[in-house]
Structure 1
Amino acid sequence: MRTVHDASGDRYLLVKRSGESSRVRDPRTGDEQYLPNAELTFDDNDEAPLSVAAMAVSEPVRRVVSAAHDDRSLGLLVELADRGPLSVVELLDAYDLCESDLQGLLAEFRAAGLLAEATVHGERGYDATDVTRRAVASLRESE
């Protein structure tokens, strides 16, 4: 599978190419349409087709899915989205994470832009970012 884009920069997945037109799929909606080949640029090693296909999922959800390796790490993000900000002491007391595991997850989530440092009752803590809150809300809606 290849990717193509039109003059406005919109990316599509190439479904079928013929002489005059090509059937393309919009990765965000899944809708297919025929577009004239003259209006398309066929990408060579630009973006991997599977990365383009992932655009069907909102950016905040993609970021959470990429960063949360298991249910426990996803649960930490959900808890901070629901209850945050929480101090590191509160996080260690409330959940079954050792300090090194917690610090590792917090560092990964901060690097991904999912958590921000916060001061809670005069102690160092963390809070979910708006991206995380939107992603959690979106994931809950999909049930």
Structure 2
Amino acid sequence: MRTVEHGGDRYLLVKQSGESSLVYDPETGEERYLPNEELTVTGDSPLELAAEAVPEASRRILTAVHSEQALGLLVELDERGPMSVREVLGAYDLCESDLHGLFGELRAAGLVTEADVAGERGYRLTDLAREGLAELR
């Protein structure tokens, strides 16, 4: 399958004939025929385009979170609000290096940000993470 563009929109090419092609819009699920001369092959990954059917916030969580511990940490921050590093270490079965690794990955993905929690260093969810969790729930 290839990715094509028509008028600024990207589609998955399903079938091509002499004068027109059947294209699929992964965001809407619609299929339609478009003239071949109006299509441009983009070279974009068709699987990445297909993934765009999932809302951006949910996609970010799905691609950034590689363990149930990381997902659980996001859920806990969503439920409990910002937490200090000391509080997280005391409440959950994580060593300090594992916790800092998790927070580093989640920060790089734009899902958590540093926060001052009662005068201590801590973390809180970003709006993107909160939106993504709401979509997944």
Q: Report the TM-score, using the length of structure 2 for normalisation.
A: 0.96
Cα offset for 1:106? 0.1
The answer as to 2:2 corresponding to 1:2 is yes
How far apart, in 1, do the equivalents of 2:101 and 2:115 lie? 17
CA shift at 1:19, angstroms?
A: 1.1
Where do residues 49-64 of structure 1 align in structure 2 (5 Å cutoff)? 49-64=46-61
Count of residues paired in the alignment: 137
- CA drift of 1:38 comes to 2.1
Say whether 1:71 aligns with 2:71. Answer: no
User: Does 28-37 or 52-61 show the bigger shift?
Assistant: 28-37
In structure 1, distance between residues paired with 2:105 and 2:31: 37
CA distance in structure 2 between the partners assigned to 1:62 and 1:25 by the alignment: 20
5+ long unaligned stretches in structure 2: none
Partner of 2:98: 101
Deviations 1:62-97 (A, max 9, x none): 111111112111111111122221100111111111
2: CA distance, partners of 1:58 / 1:113: 15
Runs of 5+ consecutive residues of structure 1 not aligned to the other structure: none
Moved segments of 4+, more than 3 Å: none
Cα distance in 2 for partners of 1:58, 1:128 equals 18
Partner Cα separation in structure 1 for residue 28 and residue 36 of structure 2 = 21
Alignment partner of 1:56: what SS?
coil
The separation in 2 between residues aligned to 1:80 and 1:69, in whole angstroms, is: 17
Greater shift in the superposed pair: 74-83 or 100-109 = 74-83
Query: What is the Cα-based RMSD across aligned positions, in Å?
Result: 1.0
What's the TM-score once normalised by structure 1's chain length? 0.92
Provide the identity percentage: 63
